[in-house]
Amino acid sequence: MQSDLFILQKIPSLTTLSHFPLSSQFSRKKTSCGCGGGGGRARAMQRTESGGGERRSGVRSKLTEASFLASLMPKKEIGADRFLEAYPEYDGRGVVIAIFDSGVDPAAAGLHVTSDGKPKVLDVLDCTGSGDIDTSTVVKADGDGRIRGASGALLAVNPSWKNPSGEWHVGSKLVYEFFTNSLISRLKKERKKKWDEKNQAAIAEAVKNLDAFDQKHTKVEDVKLKRIREDLQNRVDFLRKQADGYDDKGPIIDAVVWYDGELWRVALDTQSLEDEPGHGKLEDFVPLTNFRNERKFGVFSKLDACTFVANVYEEGNIVSIVTDSSPHGTHVAGIATAFHPQEPLLNGVAPGAQIISCKIGDSRLGSMETGTGLSRALIAAVEHKCDLINMSYGEPTLLPDYGRFVDLVNEVVNKHHLIFVSSAGNSGPALSTVGAPGGTSSSIIGVGAYVSPEMAAGAHCVVDPPEEGLEYTWSSRGPTADGDLGVCVSAPGGAVAPVPTWTLQRRMLMNGTSMASPSACGGIALILSAMKAEGIDISPYDVRKALENTSIPIGTLPEDKLTSGQGLMQVDKALEYLRQSRDIPSVQYEVKVSRSGKSSPTFRGIYLREACACQQPSEWTVQVEPKFHEGASNLDQLVPFEEHIEFHCSDTAIIKAPEYLLLTHNGRSFNIVVDPTSLAEGLHYHELYGIDCKAPARGPLFRIPLTITKPMVVKGHPPLVSFPGMQFSPGHIERRFIEVPQGANWVEATMRASGFDTSRRFFVDTLQLSPLKRPGKWESVVTFSSPSAKVFSFQVEGGQTIELAVAQFWSSGRGSQQTTVVDFEINFHGIDINNEELILDGSDASVRIVASSLLSSEKLVPLAILNKLRVPYRPSDSKLQTLLGNRDRLPSGKQILALTLIYKFKLEDAADVKPHIPLLNNRVYDTKFESQFYMISDSNKRILAKGDVYPKSTKLPKGELTLQLYLRHDNLQLLEKMKSLVVFIERTLDDKDAVRLSFFSEPDGNVTGNAGFKSSVLAPGLKEGFYISPPNKDKLPKNCPEGSILVGEISYGKSSSEKQSGEKNPKKNPAFYRISYVVPPNKSGAEKEKYSSAVSNISVSQRLEEEVRDAKIKVLTSLRQSIEEERAEWGKLSASLKGEYLKHTPLLAKILDALVTRNNVEDKVQHYEQIIDAANEVVDSIDTEELAKYVADKSDPEDDEAEKTKKKMDSTRDQLTEALYHKGLALAELESVKPETRTDKVNGEESGEPVVKDDLFEENFKELRKWADVKSSKYGTLSVIRERRSGRVGTALKVLNDVIQDDGDPPKKKLYDLKLSLIEEVGWNHVASIERQWMYVRFPKSLPLF
C-alpha cells in the first residue's frame, strides 16, 4: 500500500499500508499519510505530556510568527531544536538517507543543497520500472544528420553531440505515463481548452462553407449536388462529434540514447508538448546522463512544470525516465532533510543530511508499491552505503514479521548496519491495526503520529488547540497479532513541507504516520551525525534501544504504550544514552514466546484476547537470544558476552517470572506464568523487562509485552449490549471488548449522540482477530451536526472477541465547552449454518443446508447468486531469464531471475475481467514470493489492463487476448515450480446473465419443481433444513467451459432496519458467504452429421481427381514468398495449375489471396496489376447468372444435396465479392502510384456532366454493390475510397467511422491509417494530432517493458 498520509484530498498512497503511502488514510484507503485538519481517516489518542517533555500547566502561550513557522515543521517536540542549538554542526552532515517512497523531486524547494553546501540529492531512481523505455532499437543518422525516432518522427541530431559509434538507441512513450493523475487532469483541462479553440475555428469554417453552398444552390435536386452538400454537412458533423468524443491520451515523446565515449547520454524530443513552434526539439535538448554522475535533471515543458531524471541501463537498451508518482515522497524527504537558508524555521529535521530517492510507488498502479520496487530500493540503499532508510508505505498483514521483503530487510539491517524507519499506519483507533512492514517487523523502527498543541494551533489552524499533546486519532495501534508492541516510538505526524514543482506550489500540509516516520528518521540522522563526528560505532540495535529508553511517555496509563510505543522520541537524550553505552557490545535481544509444552507457533509477546484465555492462568516459555551483527568476532565479542539480568514486572500479581537470569551468547529460556483471572473487563497492558544488573542506567534491554483484552460476556436474551452515557471530549477514545456470542453472524448497532452544540466527528471501529487472517475490521466516520442517532450493521464472527472503539476526532469540538454524551447499543444476530462456504460440485443433486438460531428468533431468508465466472488457464508459453545489471543484484550477490508466463484466452463479448491468482494475490509483504506484475493485451499489442497483487476488473473488448504474468525471485527452483501456474480469468457477469439459485424443502424439489423454500422463522435452539439447487444447465451463462467455476455469495438473513436490503444481492445483507459451482462437462452433444446413404453420382476416378487437385492447391498455398526465388517457384506452380484446372474458382481465389498478402513488394505497379488480373480471372470463372438465381431464391434447403449446393454457392459468392473488393483496392492503389491510370476525369466539379471515359473503379464498385453491402465493416473501405476519389472527404470520414464502429474485431490499423490520412487531407491538424496519439495507443510497435 501507499504511505500513511492524511492529505486534504485523501491521496490513496501516502503511506502504504495497503498498497499505498502511509498518511492518515492508511487503513481506510491503504495509505499512511494525511493532510489538512483531518481530511483522511486518521485517529488519535489523548496525551498528558508536551512535545518537549515538560508537563503543561494548562495554559498555552499565544503563537508568535516565529512559533507559528516552527509549528509548520515541528522539531521542538522531539528535542531536535535543543539538539541543534547545542550541536549546530551535528545537523545530519555525513548521513545519507534512502527515501523509499513515491519519488523525490530534486527541483523542489529546500532539496537542492545541504546546510554545508553539498548536493542534497545524490541519486534519483525509479525502482518500479514504470518509467522504463525500451531503447534497444539502434539507428544511424542519414546524410542530413537526422534519425528516425521510435514514434516515426524524423529527428535532427545536434552535431556537437559526441557519438564515436554513430549508433543511436531510440524509444518512445506517451508522456502521460510519467505523470500523476492530478497532473494529467490539469494538463488535459488546459490542453482541451486550446484544442477547443482550434476545433471551434474549424467548425466555423465548415459551417461557413455549408452556408455558402446553400446560398449558391437554393434548390438542390441534382444527385451530384446533393452529394456535395451531404459532404459539407458531414464535415460539420464530424468536427462536432470530435468535440463530444475528445479523449487526450497525451503527447508522444521520443527518447534517444547514445554513448559519448565516457558516459551514456539521453535526450528527449518534446515538441508535441510545446505550444510554441520550434520548441522542444531533440537537437535543442541539453543531454542528461545517469543522475548520480552529474546530478542534472530536466523539465518536460513549462506547461507541466514536471521535473524528470534519466538513468540508462543494460548498455543503452533501457532508459528510465524518473518522475514522482505523487507529492508524498518529496514531502517526506522535506520533513527529514529540507534546507531553507532564508527560512531556517522551515528546515527539515536534519538539513545537513543527504538523500537518495528510491521510487517504490509504481506510476502504472496509481503509486502503489511493488515487490520489484521494494527489492531494488534495498539494493540501491546498500549500494549507496546509506545510513538510514525511511519508508512511509505499508498495509495490513496476516502474518507479522514474515515474508520476502522482511527477510531482505533483516539482511540489510543485520549485515550492513542500515537503520530502517517506517510508518506504523493510519488505521486507528482500534487496537492491532499496525501495518506491515513498519508496525509488524522486528528490524524496523515503527513510528506513530503525535500532534502537539503548537502543531494544532499553527499547522492545523485549530480554534482552541489542546493543552497537551496527543496521538492523532487515526494513528495505528498495537499490539501485533503475535503480541509485539507494534509501535516503537512516536514523532510529529504533520508538517508543511516541500512538494514537487508540478503541483505549482512550494509546500503543502500533510499529516499521517507518513509524516511521523521522516520526522523520526531526521531525528535519528542528527544522532548519527553526532556519532560519526565523535567516532561512536553505529548499530541499528543500539540506536533503537536508545530511542526506546529515552522517549517521554505519552499518557499516564500502561496501555497508552499500545498507542504511542515507548513515547515521544527525544534526540538529545538518545545521543547522551549512546555516548554512555559506547563501549557496550551492540546486541539485539531476540525474544520468542511459546506456550509451555508447545514449540510452535512462536510469538514476540503475549496477547490474551479471547475470553477463554482470561479464565485461568497460563504458563509460557520465553527464549531470549542475543543477536550480534553479521561478522562479529567469535573470540572478541561472542565468547566474552555475559550479562546478569534482573527481571522487573509492572504487576507481579499478573506476571510471575524469575528474578534473575544469566544470559550468554547462546541465549537462555525460562518460564513465566500469566494470571489474568483477577482482572476486570477491558484492556490491560503489562511488561516484563530485563535490566543489566551491572549497568541499570541502560534501562530495559528487552521487553516482553503482555496485552490482555478481557471481554465482557453477553448473557441476556435477546443478546443486547448497551453502553450508555459515554462521555467524549476531543481526542477521547472509549474501548469495549465483547465476546461475540456463538452463532452470531452480524450486528445491528445504534449510536446516539447528545449534549453538544457544534458538530462532532467520530471514528467508530470494530475489529476481530482470527488465525492466519488479516484483522477483520469494520469502520465508519460519523458526523453529528445535532443530537441524533446513527444505525449500523456489519458482519462478525461468533466466539471471537470484538473490540468496539469509539473516538471523537482529535480536532472535533475544539472551542466548545460541552462534552458529548454517546449511548451505544449493540444487538447480535445470527443464523448458524452447518456449512458456511458452499461448493456445488457440478452434479444435479441439491445440497442440504441446516440452519439454526442460537440467540433469538430470526427470519431465515436465503438468497444466493452466482455472478462471476472463473475460467482456469495454464501457460501456453514461458520464458525464464536472468536479469542484467546492478539494480537486480541483491546485496548477497545473487542475481534476480524473471519468469514470464503467457496465457491466451478469448472473450466472445466485451466484459469486466480480471486475473485471479489464488497463490499470489492480495499479499505484498506477507509472502515469500518477491513480486508479480501482469499485462493484458490484444492482438495489436495494445495494453488493455495491468496490475500486480491486487488485480482490478477492467472492461475488455471481445476477441483474442494475451495475459503476460511476470514473476521475480533469485530462487531458480521456486520459479521452475511456477511454470505451470494456474491463472483464473474472472469475468463479471451482467445482471441478466447472473445465476440466481433456488431453494427447496425437499431433496427432489429441483427436479419436480415442487416444495419451493422462500423463508421461515427460526426459533432459538431449533434447527431447520432446506436444500439449495444447482443451477439449471440451460441457465448457465454462455461461454462457460467445463472445469470453470461460477462464484458468488449466499446470505441467510437480513438487517431488520433495512426493509429492502439484499432482496436481490446477498452482499447488501450484513452477513454473506462465498458459494461456488464447478461447471460440469458439456452435454454429449452435438448430434453427429447424418450419414447419407444416397449413392454418389461422382465416380471413384472423379473423386480421386478432385482429391489430387485439392492436394496440389494446398501445396500451393503452403509455399513461402519471402524472396524472389520463392516467388518465382510459386508463380510457376500457380501457372501450371491454372493451365491444368481451367477456371477452377477455388484455385483462382487462392492465387488472388496469395498475391494480396504478399509483402516486401518492390514494383508496386506490377503488383497491383497482377492483383487486378487475378481478380478478373476469379470473376470470369463464375457463372454470375446462375449465382444471381440462387441469391434470389430465399427458400431453405430441403435435403442433403440442397444443403451441399447452398454451401457451394455461398462459398462462390464470397469468392466473387472478395475478388471484386480486392480489385477495387488495387485499382485505387494503382491510381495513387500511377496517376495517369485514373479513369474518372470529370468536366467541372459541380457541373453534373457525365464521365468522359470509362471509370474502372466505379464500374467495379457498382458490380460489388450487387453482391454485398458495400458499407459493411468487411467492404466499407472501398466505399470510403470511392467518396475520397470524388473529393467528398467529409462523407468518406462518416462512412469510415461507421465501418470502424461496426467492426467487431480488434481495431485494424489500415482503417485508422486511412482515417488519419483523410483528416490530414482536409487540413484538420488539431484532430490529426489526437488521432496520432490514439494510433500510438492502439497499435504499439511492441509490448512495453515490465
Active site residues per annotation: 101, 328, 514
Q: Determine the distance from the C-alpha atom of residue 616 to the mean position of all C-alpha atoms in its chain, rounded to a whole number.
A: 47
DSSP string, 376-397: HHHHHHHHTT-SEEEE-EEB--
Residues 645 and 657: their CA atoms lie apart, in Å, by 12
Question: In the numeric block, which cell numbers belong to residue 232?
Answer: 459539407
DSSP E strands: which ranges in 675-710? Answer: 682-692, 700-710
DSSP E strands: which ranges in 477-572? Answer: 489-492, 494-498, 507-511
Residues 348 and 342: their CA atoms lie apart, in Å, by 13
Phi and psi at residue 145, to the nearest 5°: 75, 30
Residues 30 and 1315: their CA atoms lie apart, in Å, by 44
Containing 985, the helix (H) or strand (E) segment is: strand 983-988
Is residue 1257 a contact partner of residue 1285, using CB atoms and an 8 Å limit? yes
Is residue 1237 a contact partner of residue 1243, using CB atoms and an 8 Å limit? no
Residues 1316 and 1323: their CA atoms lie apart, in Å, by 11
Question: In the numeric block, which cell numbers belong to residue 1341?
Answer: 510497435
Q: Beta 388-391 vs 96-101: how paired, if at all?
A: parallel
Name the nearest CA neighbour of 1117 among 1089, 1155, 1144.
1155
Q: Which residues, 6+ apart, have CB-to-CB distance to 154 below 8 Å?
A: 146, 147, 148
Residues 35 and 694: their CA atoms lie apart, in Å, by 47
Give helix 1164-1180 / helix 1200-1233 axis angle, nearest 10°: 150
Give helix 181-216 / helix 1325-1338 axis angle, nearest 10°: 130
> Which residue do the cell numbers 467548425 mark?
203
CA 1296, 1301, 1305: angle at the middle one, nearest 5? 110
Residues 192 and 288: their CA atoms lie apart, in Å, by 31
Q: What does the buried/exposed string (b/e) look like for 1081-1112 if buried means 16 or more CB atoms within 10 Å of the residue's CB?
A: eeeeeeeeeeeeeeeeeeeeeeeeeeeebeeb
Question: In the numeric block, which cell numbers belong to residue 48?
Answer: 498528558
Residues 326 and 14: their CA atoms lie apart, in Å, by 8
Side by side, which strands form the sheet with 943-947? Answer: 877-882, 897-907, 959-969, 931-937, 943-947
Sign (positive or negative) of CA dihedral 479, 480, 483, 484: negative
Q: Determine the distance from the C-alpha atom of residue 305 to the mean position of all C-alpha atoms in its chain, rounded to a whole number.
A: 25
Name the nearest CA neighbour of 178 among 13, 371, 320.
320
Question: In the numeric block, which cell numbers belong to residue 594?
Answer: 511459546
Widest CA span of the chain, in angstroms? 116
Residues 647 and 687: their CA atoms lie apart, in Å, by 10
Please give the DSSP secondary-structure letter assigned to residue 428. -
Containing 44, the helix (H) or strand (E) segment is: strand 43-45
Q: Beta 720-728 vs 668-674: how paired, if at all?
A: unpaired
Is residue 470 a contact partner of residue 451, using CB atoms and an 8 Å limit? yes
Is residue 868 a contact partner of residue 1033, using CB atoms and an 8 Å limit? no
Phi and psi at residue 871, to the nearest 5°: -110, 125
Name the nearest CA neighbour of 50 among 465, 484, 452.
452
Instruction: Tell me how long the chain is.
Output: 1346
